[in-house]
Amino acid sequence: MNDLLTAVYPGSFDPPTEGHINIIERGLKVFDKLIVVVAVNSAKKTIFTIEERIDLLKKIFKKNSRLEIDSFEDTLLVNYVRSKRAQVILRGLRTVKDYEYEFQMALANKQLAPELETVFMMTESRYSHISSSLIKEILELGGSGAGMVPQIVEKTVEKILEEKRKK
């Protein structure tokens, strides 16, 4: 085990939203080190490649020795967390709707790796209605993502949607 309290914050981040950013900023206040990791949710079809999502996260956050941005594929989250010698999996909870899914994942991860803890942070109410899919839909239909995603994310999503439309 690592002496530093290290948490891994996994997600699809397709794209990262202000809600994710809020959890990352608050996570940095609680943990010595935070590893934000772009992971694969096999149930989701994404518009960004893993590299593009990492690039967006790196553009959003200034260099910080306590914050690492990474990705993994083709293995379980718990294997990745162990390989980083982290102790905690950090997840955000928006509403009770998230609860059942998160409960199932946390219990499965606990069974697979009993030494790891999942810690939940309540998403601030101003972000609790946001999701990456909702933002993609709003931007696709010409709405504004202000207050939901940083400008760099809005511009990149619009560019990708524009390219898709041309095909």
- Site residues for ligand COA, window 58-77 (CB under 6 A)? 76-77
- The answer to whether 47 contacts ligand COA (rule: CB under 6 A) is no
Nearest residue to ligand COA by CB is 19
Handedness of CA 74, 50, 132, 24 (dihedral sign): positive
- The answer to whether 90 contacts ligand COA (rule: CB under 6 A) is no
Q: For residue 129, give Cα distances in angstroms to 29, 51, 52, 136, 148.
A: 24, 27, 24, 14, 10
Site string for ligand COA, 21-40 (x = CB under 6 A): --x---------------xx
Q: Which of 55-63, 128-136, 139-147, 159-167 is the region at the interface with ligand COA (rule: CB under 6 A)?
A: 128-136
Alpha helices (H) in 66-95, listed in sequence order: 77-83
Q: Dig out the tokens for 162 from the structure.
A: 């524009």
Residue the block writes with tokens 């839909």: 137
- The answer to whether 41 contacts ligand COA (rule: CB under 6 A) is yes
- Is 101 buried (19+), middle (13-18) or exposed (0-12) by CB count in 10 A? exposed
- The answer to whether 10 contacts ligand COA (rule: CB under 6 A) is yes
Which residues contribute to the site for ligand COA (CB under 6 A)?
10-14, 17, 19-20, 23, 39-41, 44, 76-77, 92, 94, 105, 108-109, 123, 127, 130-133
